Amino acid sequence: MMTIVLWITGSILVAAAALAIVRIARGPSILERVLATDVLLVIIAAGLTIEMAVNKHTDNLIFVVLCCMIGFIGSVTVARYVTDRRNA
């Protein structure tokens, strides 16, 4: 049963990652590219979390936290930069 769940979630994450990469490449604005990059980091964190659940360990937990922190800090930084640039 766990193998079926692993294949289903893995295929959904691969499809989502492919779509996020397409949005990064074709995004018309920098904000859409940053959002797609943030989504890609969340997909990577979800993949690591699924791997930890299947193998019953927490070795990659620091990488999951780092992915989430980098995504959040990067998105906030770009959003503040774009907001400051539009107000000037």
> pTM here?
0.87
Q: How far is CA 23 from CA 14, 44, 50, in A?
A: 14, 16, 24
Q: Give the residue ranges of DSSP H helices in the chain.
A: 2-26, 30-55, 61-87
Domain count, the chain: 1
Distance CA(26)–CA(37), nearest Å, equals 12
Give CA–CA dist 84/80, Å, rounded: 6
Quick: pLDDT tens for 9-54: 999 999 999 999 999 999 898 889 999 999 999 999 999 999 999 9
User: Whole domain around residue 72: which residue ranges?
Assistant: 2-87
Q: Any idea what the Cα angle at residue 8 is, between residues 36 and 58, rounded to 5°?
A: 75
